Amino acid sequence: MTAPTTASIAELLCAEWSGLPPRTRLPSDRALAERFDVGHGVIGRIMADLERQGLVRRQRGSGSFWLGDMVSVAVTTPPSFAHLIRNAGLTPGSTLLSVETRRVATTERKHLRLSPNTAVWCIRRLLTVERIPVGVATSVLPARDLKALPAELESYGSLFDTLDRRYHRPVVRAWKRQRPVELPRFVGEVFGLQTPISVELQESLNRVVDGAPIEYARTYMRTDALNPHALIRRAHGVRLPQQEASRRCR
């Protein structure tokens, strides 16, 4: 089976299951394999990937379950972590960890369409949900037209609110890709973790509405950060139902 066909099965299943109540039991791998006329291993890989994404929970002997409390990400959703968490009814936070101006690096120059030796802001922030650390984001932006950006960011909190309200540059997503990675030591130290957790590297490019690239970002995010309600309950020691999971939504 080719990757596009596998992806189409995953997309179809997600579309069908998106309206289900939390913790709904899903069809077995065998039933899905028969439905799509594919091997059992193909469905197993699809379901394993959906579990990694936080969309399902698989439990040996009990089956697979659809997750609830997931944050909805629509095409029209601004590429803003703060907006996403506020829409879930929770409180986002952002702490400035470091800021510097430097010459643009080769990869950054390519994505941002800048000339060699252009000055850029390099801003590292700690992202939180209800004061729980969930991500470390490094954003690179052209410095020329964004003077005093760090000070303005302290005032507005959200980078995207700052770009929109202070600099009149509303931002939309150009592209985003993500993959699971080992927890970097510096991220674990920023989080103050005693034990390892699952994280993924989210790489994205954002542009202003008129099309000009404005931010290239690399974010190490907890895989459960976009299932924030379950994250908060677990952090406060509330026992979750056996079928409920703690990963992330696309």
pTM above the 0.85 mark? no
Mean pLDDT of the chain: 82
Q: Which residues, listed in sequence order, are joined to residue 213 by a DSSP beta bridge?
A: 207
pLDDT greater at residue 200 or residue 101: 101
Q: Which residues contact 122 (CB under 8 A, 6 or more apart)?
A: 98, 99, 100, 101, 102, 138, 139, 140
Nearest to 224 by CA among 244, 248, 191: 248
Whether pLDDT at 215 is above 70: yes
Do residue 116 and residue 143 come from a single domain? yes
Full domain range(s) for residue 134: 81-235
Is 250 inside a domain boundary? Answer: no
- In 49-188, where do the E strands start and end? 56-59, 63-66, 92-103, 119-129, 132-142, 171-181
Identify whether residues 97 and 48 lie together within a single domain.
Answer: no
Residue 46 sits in a domain whose CATH number is 1.10.10.10
Same domain, 132 and 193: yes
- On the question of pLDDT at 242 being above 70, the answer is no
pLDDT band at 216 (very low <50, low <70, confident <90, very high): very high
Average pLDDT value for residue range 193-219: 89
Q: What is the pLDDT of residue 71?
A: 57
- Across the range 81-98, mean pLDDT stands at 86
Distance CA 33, CA 51 (A): 17
Tokens of 222: 């907890």
Asked if residue 18 is part of any domain, the answer here is yes
195 and 87 share one domain? yes
The CA distance from 217 to 203, in Å, is: 6
| Residue 107 and residue 183 in contact, taking contact as beta carbons nearer than 8 Å | no
User: Residues 169-193: what's their mean pLDDT?
Assistant: 88
Q: For 127-159, write each residue's pLDDT tens digit.
A: 999 999 999 999 999 999 898 998 898 888 789
Claim to verify: residue 52 and residue 91 sit in the same structural domain: no
| Cα dihedral 85, 207, 113, 150 in deg (nearest 10) | -50
CATH code for position 149: 3.40.1410.10
97 and 22 assigned to the same domain: no
- Round to whole Å and give the CA distance between 233 and 212: 40
Residue 73 lies in a domain: no
- Residue ending a domain, among 66, 101, 121, is 66
Residues 29, 47 contacting (CB under 8 angstroms)? yes
Domain membership of residue 240 (yes or no) is no
Asked if 59 and 145 sit in the same domain, the reply is: no
Distance CA 152, CA 166 (A): 8
Same domain, 213 and 184: yes
DSSP 178-212: EEEE---HHHHHHHT-SS---EEEEEEEEEETTS-
Number of Cβ within 10 Å of residue 87's Cβ equals 16
Q: Report if residue 199 sits inside a domain.
A: yes
Closest CA relative to residue 137, chosen from 249, 220, 197, 201: 220
Q: What percent of the chain has pLDDT over 90?
A: 39
- Asked whether residue 149 falls in the same domain as residue 200, the answer is yes
Please check whether residue 117 is in contact with residue 103, taking contact to mean a CB–CB distance below 8 angstroms. Answer: yes
Confidence band, pLDDT 50/70/90 cuts, at residue 18: confident
CA-closest candidate to residue 151, choices 161, 143, 162, 140: 162
Helix or strand or coil: residue 42? helix
pLDDT of 239 above 70: no
Residues 6+ apart with CB under 8 A from 238: none
**Could you tell me if residue 230 is inside a domain?**
yes
Is residue 166 domain-resident?
yes
Task: Give yes or no: residues 113 and 226 share one domain.
Answer: yes
Domain boundary residue among 17, 42, 66? 66
Asked if residue 215 and residue 166 are part of one domain, the reply reads yes
Query: How many structural domains comprise the chain?
Result: 2
Q: Are residues 121 and 16 in the same domain?
A: no
